[in-house]
Structure 1
Amino acid sequence: MRRWVIMTAGLLIWAAHFLGLYLLSSAADVWSSADAPSARGGGWAFSFLCLALLAVIVTFLLRRPARDDPGRWERCVALAGALVAAVGIVWQTAPLGF
């Protein structure tokens, strides 16, 4: 089970980011406006937190020795998932604007 969590860690963070950003936007829409600076700032902060967590995972993966072929394959899958997740997080954050 631990191996699957490592391989899908980036994608799980991306899913959590999607859900968190959706909840932040919905809450901001109820309380004030989704375009309010505080709502956008909260979305940006949450996105940077998720990207930082992805960076920690990638650093962990790159420092972890791959002793055998399955370990290398799992690391490649995990790194590819983290890359896809990073692109997804940036893509989902883009509508917040500057």
Structure 2
Amino acid sequence: MERWTFLLGGMIVWTVHFFALYAVASIFLTTPLARWLTLVVSVCCLGADAWLFRRALTAPHNDGVDRWSRTTALLLIGGSTIAVLWQALPAVLI
């Protein structure tokens, strides 16, 4: 189970971000509070992505983490980071 969490950590962060922003947008609509909550959630998720990225880079090879797992995790974390930034962009620009 730990290997799946390692592999899908980035996608889990993106999913949490997606549903959190959906809830914020549904509850608070276009209020200034919605923008601030969007920024807070996005910064927290970017921090989680950064932590996962560092963990994936420094994971020892004897943890059952082979090269393919590490590369896949890093690519998914990168995709998650791009998705989080892309979803937060409208709230930051307007």
Give the alignment's TM-score, normalised by structure 2: 0.90
1:2-81 superposed matches below 5 A? 2-29=2-29, 34=30, 36-67=31-62, 71-81=66-76
* Equivalent position of 1:86 in the other structure: 81
List structure 1 runs of 4+ shifted beyond 4 angstroms: 67-70
The CA distance in 1 between the partners of 2:38 and 2:63, in whole Å, is 40
Q: CA deviation at 1:10?
A: 0.2
Give the alignment's TM-score, normalised by structure 1: 0.87
Q: Given that residues 59 and 65 in structure 2 are in contact (C-alpha distance below 8 angstroms), is that contact kept between their aligned partners in structure 1? A: no
Instruction: Mark the runs of 5 or more structure 2 residues left unpaired by the alignment.
Output: none
Q: CA deviation at 1:74?
A: 0.3
Of 69-78 and 42-51, the range deviating more from structure 2: 69-78
Q: Cα–Cα, structure 1 residues 71 and 27, in superposed 2: closer, same or farther, change >3 Å?
A: same
Q: CA deviation at 1:71?
A: 1.1
Secondary structure of the residue that 1:97 maps to in structure 2?
helix
The CA distance in 2 between the partners of 1:66 and 1:94, in whole Å, is 37
Identity %: 30
The count of residues paired between Structure 1 and Structure 2 equals: 93
Q: Given that residues 39 and 92 in structure 2 are in contact (C-alpha distance below 8 angstroms), is that contact kept between their aligned partners in structure 1? A: no
The CA distance in 2 between the partners of 1:24 and 1:5, in whole Å, is 26
The CA distance in 2 between the partners of 1:54 and 1:90, in whole Å, is 11
